Amino acid sequence: MVVADLQVWALTHGAQLRAALVDGRFRRNWRAWSALAQGAVPADHPVAAMVGLDNMLTADGADHRRLRGLISQAFTPGRIGALRPAICGRAEKLVEELALAAGPVDVKAAFAYPLSQQVFGDLFGIGETDHGRIRAMVDTAFSTAPPDEVRAMRAEVDAYLDEVIAAKQDMPGSDVVSALIGAREGGERLSTRELRDTLWLLLTAGYETTASALANGIETLLGSPEQLARLCAGEAAWLAAVEEILRAATSVATLPFLFASEDVTVAGHTIAAGEAVLLCYLAANRDPARYGEAQALDLGAMRPRHLGLGHGPHVCLGAALARAELEIGLSTLFARFPRARRVEPAPPRLGSVFINSPAALPVHLEPAAA
């Protein structure tokens, strides 16, 4: 398979992807990628720039456990639970603003993005004046931008995160950045590069992926009016809808990469040592062998466990927060606008190898009957 002019393997079936995610013969560390080490893939290639980081997503074994242990100190259940009232308040305020709009509204731009931005702003202690700057950097990271734009983006990311870290060192607060700066395990701290790369990982994961997941949820429910009616009538649980959306409409379509540390045979094909393997979560979540041929949204179906938030040692650390944002965002929006309907034709998809989401989501918002 060719991804953005890279020759890589792709795991698209549920059983194969699950097995690979816990197979010790595969590595996450980008230094195991032979094409990059040998110069066949330039260091400023957009995908290489995306994976060439030192954080828990690109670490293996003891190094991964160390990083995850340090970072988990900033994602305690208490910290995430304390955010729920703020998420509810943010969602309610945005819905009130939507009610004042005339005509169709792009709910991705006017609801999904602002909610995601405001929540991670609360979590990271980052003010709204920085949100536009962060969004521009993240958009470039997930796009198919040319190398010169990627180089400029990476330089801006490092400069911006250095500013944030310096500010929190001077004036620490109760936010995640301050917690990561002060996190210790066995007397160790995150190195400067690990801290910067970890913050970049958390920003990209907590902003674009969550906003796109929320947009996907809205789009999916608008395309399933019977299921939406059940939710609005209290006949189905919003958490059940969240799980089904994370399965069938996960925002992370693919994720780079696993790297074979030795020759590995998968489904009769040999992946040579040093070759890259693309993780195709969306395809695996729709695998008929695991979920059956019928892929329509069904909140009454007993689905097997999905891969929407990962699997194995690298399962999403922010899974509880992602589920809370989706549950609160969707239930708040449709409580106010249960008769909302999509503007036809369907909007174009986001231009990204990795993110599955509409580029925009124009919707006719009709409030509930008095």
Least confident of 128-132, 138-142, 151-155: 138-142
DSSP-derived letter for residue 171 is S
Cα–Cα distance, 139 to 299 (Å, whole number): 32
Residue of 15, 1, 2 lying closest to 284 (CA atoms) = 15
Number of domains the chain contains: 1
Report cis status (omega within 30 of 0) of the bond before 288.
no
Least confident of 38-52, 69-83, 123-137, 267-281: 38-52
> Under a CB-based contact definition with an 8 Å cutoff, are residues 270 and 264 in contact?
yes
Could you give the 3-state DSSP secondary structure of residue 263?
A: coil
Side chain identity, residue 306: H
Whether 240 is covered by a domain: the verdict is yes
Question: Where do runs of H (alpha helix) occur along 223-336?
Answer: 225-232, 238-248, 281-285, 288-291, 319-336
Average pLDDT of span 232-237: 95
Through-space distance between the first and last CA atoms of the chain, rounded to whole angstroms: 54
- Binned at pLDDT 50, 70 and 90, residue 4 comes out as very low
Average pLDDT of span 322-330: 96
Average pLDDT of span 336-354: 90
Cα–Cα distance, 76 to 187 (Å, whole number): 20
What pLDDT score does 5 carry? Answer: 57
Whether 273 is covered by a domain: the verdict is yes
Higher pLDDT, 339 or 300: 339
pLDDT in tens, 114-123: 999 999 898 8
What pLDDT score does 368 carry? Answer: 67
Whether 316 is covered by a domain: the verdict is yes
Average pLDDT of span 157-184: 91
Q: Is the pLDDT of residue 2 over 50?
A: no
Q: Is the pLDDT of residue 300 over 90?
A: no
Average pLDDT of span 302-309: 91
- Binned at pLDDT 50, 70 and 90, residue 141 comes out as confident
What pLDDT score does 336 carry? Answer: 96
- Binned at pLDDT 50, 70 and 90, residue 369 comes out as low
Whether 369 is covered by a domain: the verdict is no
Please give the full DSSP string across 102-134, using - where no structure is assigned: -S-EEHIIIIIHHHHHHHHHHHHT--GGGHHHH
The per-residue b/e assignment along 115-141, b for 16 or more CB within 10 angstroms, e otherwise, is bbbbbbbbbbbbeeeebeebbebbbbb
Range of the domain at 91: 2-364
Question: Where do runs of H (alpha helix) occur along 73-191?
Answer: 77-99, 107, 113-124, 131-141, 147-170, 176-182
CATH label of the domain that carries residue 28: 1.10.630.10
Average pLDDT of span 195-208: 87
pLDDT in tens, 241-280: 999 999 999 999 999 999 999 999 999 999 999 999 999 9
Q: Is the pLDDT of residue 101 over 80?
A: yes
% of the chain exceeding 90 in pLDDT: 64
Whether 370 is covered by a domain: the verdict is no
